[in-house]
Amino acid sequence: MGMLSFLTGRTFPRGVHPPGLKEATRDQAIRRLPFAPRLVLPLAQHFGKPSRPVVKRHQEVVRGQVIAEADGFQSVPLHAPVTGVVEGIELMPTARGPKTEAILLRTLPGDSQAVRWSSPRDLSGLSREELIRAIQAAGLVGQGGAAFPTHLKYAVPEGHGVDTLVVNGCECEPYLTTDHRIMVEQAQEVLAGIRLALRAVGADQALIGVEDDKPDAIAALQAQIGPDDPIAVRKVKAKYPQGSEKMLIKALLKREVPSGGLPFQVGVVVNNAGTMAQLGRLLPLGEGLIERVITVAGPGVERPGNYRVPVGTPLRYLLEHVGFRGDDASHLILGGPMMGNTVSSLDVPVTKAVSGLVVLPQAQADAAPETIHPCIRCGRCVEACPVGLNPAELGRLAAKRRYETMQERFHLSDCFECGSCAYVCPANIPLVQYFRIAKALNRERLS
């Protein structure tokens, strides 16, 4: 296997091959939409402590201005995505469920919406610490979905040398083409971001992992790499979940992140290609993260494509503008269909880490039969699980509510909920759903 990897492309063991379904959006340039009349900006858009608002009701703000500051190092600031007026700070629905505090911003109609809060600067003289602080000030979080503050990834604990920066350009989720388009159209910014990230994290080399179904992205990136850059593009096999950081590290470097550990323990920091593009664009300009590219796709969308929208744009507005073609029972999925979260409210906004909105009308969503059959011990889930767990056994324990045993003996916490097991299960057992319940209950029990 290993010797033939130059033929088959680098990859990790096991995994699944869902259909890509990217044809509708991958060859279309990124477009802009008109600004939404009202933005919803949750204070907790990132992993860590929520931001602290520094604006008041009825206050006028300009595009790019800081409206909520970072609450300590484990937090990031929030910038105003539009010029407008603060309507208030209220509880608003989120994709996760519980309502959280959000700043409501009414867009000023007729404004040019130019960024009026920036400080272009020369970054060449900055030290590592200064760079990390600048990244935090930009409000940058991982653009792939986890929303982990980028500066926290670079602040590697003492005693752990990081030698490699891995840039994730896999985008293995069906439908999503956000990173693909960014790599094709903004290759220069991606590379600028990688050069800055290399300095901030103190790594020697950067490897960009791109799936082999995106030759145009690979070519665009390669064209931007200078002769002195310690940066290389590596083709990896198009397979799900290739874009999971632990799987990508395994594919590119043959290193294995320890159970329950983080990539820096094997000398690696992983960043999404979209995050690199934001970094390469925002940092030299001294701006904050105020907009992002999101794929809107699926059979329920009239004009699928990649759209650059301000953070905080409500889904209802987005759907109205791309043309909603589904029925009343459509599933609206934030993120990709494998790991994304179905939302229950259209007031939920696009946040910093939302990479896609997939609309599946009822017919598509219901294609899978609802009846759950008993496990026939075929072992397909075991062959699919990328982290090498035994989903069949875990599922059996979950049905008996033995959640603690699942953790203690079968390493439940190593499951990152990619859904490969449920995807291949011929008995239609909702394995990953069981595991999510078990993990939630175990978390509650511990806290």
Partner 1 sequence: MASLGVLLAGVLAFANRRLYVFEDPRIDQLEDMLPRTNCGACGEAGCRAFAEALVAGRAQPAQCTVNSAEMNQKIADFLGVSVGSQERKIARLACAGGSHVAATRARYQGLKSCRAAALVSGGGKGCTWGCLGLGDCEQVCSFDAIRLNRYGLPVVDVDRCTGCGDCVEVCPKDLFSLQPESHRLWVACRNQDPQDEAMAQCQVVCTGCGRCAMDAPEGLIRIENHLAVIDYEKNALASPVAIQRCPTGAIVWLEGKESRKGSGARKVTRKEPLPRMEPLPRV
What residues make contact with partner 1 under the rule CB under 8 A? 91, 93, 95-99, 302, 316, 319-320, 323-331, 341-348, 365-366, 370, 430, 433-434, 436-437, 440-441
CA nearest 326: which of 356, 354, 298?
298
Compare residues 187 and 322 and give the one whose CB is closer to partner 1: 322
CA dihedral 234, 238, 240, 244 (to 10 degrees): 10
First to last CA, the chain: 44
Which strands make up the sheet holding 78-79, listed edge to edge?
A: 52-53, 66-69, 78-79
Compare residues 162 and 381 and give the one whose CB is closer to partner 1: 381
Compare residues 69 and 87 and give the one whose CB is closer to partner 1: 87
Compare residues 288 and 326 and give the one whose CB is closer to partner 1: 326
Pairing assessment for the beta strands 205-211 and 231-236 based on DSSP bridges? parallel
CA 285/CA 364 separation, integer angstroms: 44
CB of 104 to partner 1, least distance (A): 13
CB of 24 to partner 1, least distance (A): 17
Q: Please provide residue 400's backbone torsions phi and psi, each rounded to the nearest 5 degrees.
A: -90, 5
419 within 8 A of 338, measured Cβ to Cβ:
yes
DSSP secondary structure code for residue 263 in this structure: G
CB of 218 to partner 1, least distance (A): 36
Compare residues 93 and 263 and give the one whose CB is closer to partner 1: 93
Compare residues 224 and 355 and give the one whose CB is closer to partner 1: 355
CB of 151 to partner 1, least distance (A): 29
Q: Which residues are annotated as a binding site for [4Fe-4S] cluster?
A: 375, 378, 381, 385, 415, 418, 421, 425
DSSP secondary structure code for residue 174 in this structure: S
For residue 308, the tally of other CB atoms under 10 A from its CB is 14
Q: Which residues are annotated as a binding site?
A: 375, 378, 381, 385, 415, 418, 421, 425
CB of 434 to partner 1, least distance (A): 8
When computed from its CA atoms, the radius of gyration of the chain, rounded to whole angstroms, is 22
CA 77/CA 289 separation, integer angstroms: 9
